Amino acid sequence: MMKQERAARTRQLLIRSAAEAFERHGFTRARLADISSSAGVTTGALHFHFANKAALASTVEATAAAILRCAARSVRHPGANALQLLTGASQALADRLRHDVVARAGFRLSCGDDPHRPGLDLRGEWFECIHRLLTEAEDHHLLAEGVSRQDAIASIAAATTGFEVLGRTDPTWLSPASLSRFWRLVLPLLATAEALATLDLPAGEPLTQARVVEILENQN
């Protein structure tokens, strides 16, 4: 049992060390010798767990996918409508990308750090999530009159992708405050007044009916 626990710890150390190397240098320039050294193990120990750098990168991606999918699921609760789930998921994903190097590195690897290496498409999964939730919002008449679902999908996908890219050099772009400012701007344009009244802003401030009236008056 102790041997299995030691092997599991070594594997986790290697995954984190690899994530740090992939984030810093990219897949192509990351070196297995540096990854094993940073993890405090020999290259032989690394190869016991991972056949090559591609296998290690695939494991980082898969681990990141599990982290990010779990984060997105964590915001689900009874009574939450599609727009509430969308804002919550964006905050949860940004939080993991900001604080977890494995999530960041795996996401970047999946977005084509090396176009010749096959892998997951985590950005594509996020786009599908946006598409599904905004389609659900439209079906439940949560979108304001005149709002194009396709335009909303494209705009939110582009904006949230931008937060991830900007966050690579300045983590404050992935902070709750940054996401809250984005949704405070977008939600009054996206949702009906009735839907707005049921939503909580990402920072936790409820969109009360009085707040909805204030927002709509400011638009006129």
Q: What is the pLDDT along the chain (220 residues), one digit of tens a residue?
A: 677 888 889 999 999 999 999 999 999 999 999 999 999 999 999 999 999 999 999 999 999 999 999 998 888 888 889 999 999 999 999 999 999 999 999 999 998 756 546 678 899 999 999 999 999 999 999 999 999 999 999 999 999 999 999 999 999 999 999 999 999 999 999 999 999 888 876 544 444 445 544 544 554 4
CA-to-CA dists, residue 79 to 30, 82, 100, 198, angstroms? 46, 10, 29, 10
**Two structure tokens written together for 14:** 């290697």
Q: Which residues contact 45 (CB under 8 A, 6 or more apart)?
A: 10, 36
CA-to-CA dists, residue 210 to 73, 79, 190, 217, angstroms? 31, 22, 18, 11
The domain defined by 60-219 folds into Tetracycline Repressor; domain 2 (1.10.357)
19 with 57: CB under 8 angstroms? no
What is the pTM assigned to this prediction?
0.85
